[in-house]
Structure 1
Amino acid sequence: MDYNVYLLATDPRNPCRDVIHSRDTRLKVKVFCLDEEGFSPDDNEIQLYGYADHKLYAFETIDVAAEDALDLVSAIQWYANYIGDPEMEILPEDPRPRAQYRDVQ
């Protein structure tokens, strides 16, 4: 079985702004800590969300290509293991109540 290898770029000024890079594809994923910063989803990208250690994260692709989108969940699972919460629940939509309201307007 093939395993994807992921690399992590971190911002020394913002510990909540990681970028996951796939070594084998062009997939790049920005990580946002929604409890600590604002987040406005880009309509041209894919967003998934996850709860880990009582924190809510948003994961957003960067210039996603259709063939790389398939690796998104495994990249998030890799990140969950990296931060020490392999049981992270991955969600398809922003679970925050105000995010749902914004979409209706």
Structure 2
Amino acid sequence: MDYNVYLLATDPKNPCQDVIHSRDTRLKVRVFCLDDERFSPDDGEIQLYGYANSKLFAFETINIVAEDALDLVGAIQWYANYISYPEMEILPEDPRPGQNIAM
């Protein structure tokens, strides 16, 4: 059974700017702490969301390519385990009120 290996780049000056890197693909995912910072989704990227200990996170790909999109959920699950919250539910849309209104 193949397992993807992920690496985490952190910013010591901002703990809410983690970037998940897949060792085996080109997948990169930026992590945003939505309780602590503003987030404007990039229309050209994929965004998923999740709660951990009542804290809302956004996960946004960086320069996504089609063959790496399937690895995104695995990367988020790895991060959830990394932050000791393996039961994180991964959400397809921003759950905050008023965030998913079509323009």
TM-score, scaled relative to structure 2: 0.98
Paired with 2:39 and 2:50, the residues of 1 have a C-alpha distance of 14
Question: What amino acid is the match of 2:46?
Answer: I
SS in 2 for 1:16: strand
CA offset digits 1:14-55 (Å, max 9, x no partner): 001100000000000000000000000000000000011110
Q: Where does residue 93 of structure 1 map in the other structure?
A: 93
In structure 1, the gaps of 5 or more residues are none
Q: Where does residue 104 of structure 1 map in the other structure?
A: 102
Q: Please give the root-mean-square deviation of Cα atoms over the aligned residues, in Å.
A: 0.7
SS in 2 for 1:70: helix
TM-score, scaled relative to structure 1: 0.96
Q: Where does residue 22 of structure 1 map in the other structure?
A: 22
Q: Which aligned pairs between 1:1-105 and structure 2 lie closer than 5 A?
A: 1-100=1-100, 103-105=101-103
**4+ residue runs of structure 1 moved beyond 3 angstroms?**
none
SS in 2 for 1:44: coil
SS in 2 for 1:71: helix
SS in 2 for 1:80: helix
Paired with 1:104 and 1:68, the residues of 2 have a C-alpha distance of 27
Question: What amino acid is the match of 2:55?
Answer: K
Identity of aligned residues (%): 80
Q: Which has the higher helix share?
A: 1
SS in 2 for 1:81: helix
In structure 2, the gaps of 5 or more residues are none
